Amino acid sequence: MVRGGGHFGFIVPDRLCFNSQFLNLRKHILGGYTLKKLWFKPFFGGVISDNVIFIIQKEKPHNASIEIAEYPNNKFEKIPQEIYSSLSDGTWFIVNEQILNIFKKIKQQNLIFELTKDNKFHTSVGFIAKPNKVTETKENSKQIKVFKGENIRRFTTRDCCFFDFKKENLAGGTQDKEKLSKQNKIFLRKTGANIIATFDSNNTYAEQSVYFIYIDKFPIIMPTDINPLVNIRFNSKLLDLSDKHTSERERLEEEIARTDAEIDDLVYKLYGITEDERKIIEDSLGGK
DNA sequence: ACTTGTCGATTCCTCCAAGT
DNA sequence: ACTTGGAGGAATCGACAAGT
């Protein structure tokens, strides 16, 4: 290993920065070393995996800034190391100064709380069924209602699938019935350019094409300022559009799109986000 | 101390529609 | 006809627990 003050650099899969299995290693580095540089996704011909070049110095961090960029961009942003050590998220996410400043501004307003384990929020992947065991129609009375990715829409669900939840039908993933059957869950589609999520209070199980956030108990801290928003998300009746006529469905979908936009406006207003900042945020999400 | 089993996260594969 | 990327499905792997 390097002497005090010495530098150490390596090219590794970028999973080092994100996967939970490396959480303790990341904490160890942040706690005892100065993280000098992270260069994401450097190009090496023939190499398929995404990589990261990292450089650390054997020296306790002291007001240190990490230089961060994503290849081919070589203009490195300086991000305080303290940002990464202070966030419960535990990942070394790619961020730039503009986004970071907006993030700080929002945090200062004390209107938000993080969806952490400490706040009783947990995330999980759904169960993994053996081939052809999840069906679109109910085939026997033992099957229960489950959601696959295609059932999840923004703020709504559409139809559902069926599955007989027993050992021989399962291939992996979350098998904890208690967790899967939690009453209040937020479902997120596994794939998609934007976040597609909805809330469900009917104890519906999630298949692996759906991630879910569940709550042990409602958090003790529920700032009154965000109540209008929470009420929209948590009390809205679950809309099932599958049995509606085409014209009625189109009307409802328009209404959902309009409500969606209204919620966005409300959130931006709530956090005092300016038009310029809004553009930065939406551009960073790849447009919507 | 080694082996086996379980859970659940992560990686890898396949299908298929849309684009060229 | 071939390529590409989105969406979802299947396989694999690490962490931990329990058994020998």
Task: Tell me the HSE value of A203 on the side-chain side, using a 13 A CA sphere.
Answer: 4
Element (H, E) at A9: strand A7-13
Q: Which residues of A221-258 are buried (b: 16+ CB within 10 A; e: fewer)?
A: eeeeeeeeeeeeeeeeeebebeeeeeeeeeeebeebee
Model pLDDT for residues A166-224, shown as the tens digit of each residue:
877 887 777 788 788 888 788 888 776 567 788 888 888 888 888 888 876 654 444 44
User: Is any atom of strand B within 7 angstroms of residue A100's beta carbon?
Assistant: no
Domain ranges, ordered by start, for chain A:
7-95, 117-215
Record the tokens describing residue A117, joined without a space. Answer: 């384990």
- Taking chain A, what is the end-to-end CA distance rounded to the nearest angstrom? 47
Measure Cα distances from A62 to A132, A136, A201 in Å.
Answer: 56, 57, 47
The CA–C1' separation of A171 and C11, in angstroms, is: 10
**A122: which residues sit within 8 A by CB, 6+ positions away?**
A179, A213, A214, A215, A216
- CATH class of the A117-215 domain in this structure: alpha beta
Query: Residue A211, CB, less than 7 Å from strand C?
Result: no
Beta bridge partners of A121: A215
Residue A287: its pLDDT value, please? 40
Q: Which nucleotide is nearest to A19 (CA to C1')?
A: B10
Element (H, E) at A215: strand A210-215
Give A196 CA → C7 C1' in Å.
Answer: 13
> In this predicted structure, what is the pLDDT of residue A237?
43
Phi and psi, residue A141, nearest 5°: -70, -15
What is the model's pLDDT at position A286?
Answer: 52
pLDDT of the residue at A115: 65
Q: What is the pLDDT of residues A93-111, one digit of tens each?
A: 777 888 888 888 887 877 6
Nearest to A281 by CA among A101, A151, A33: A101
pTM: 0.73
A20 touches strand C (CB under 7 A): no
Q: Would the Cβ of A91 be found within 7 angstroms of any atom in strand B?
A: no
- Checking if the pLDDT of A87 tops 60, the result is yes
With 60 as the cut, is the pLDDT of residue A243 above it?
Answer: no
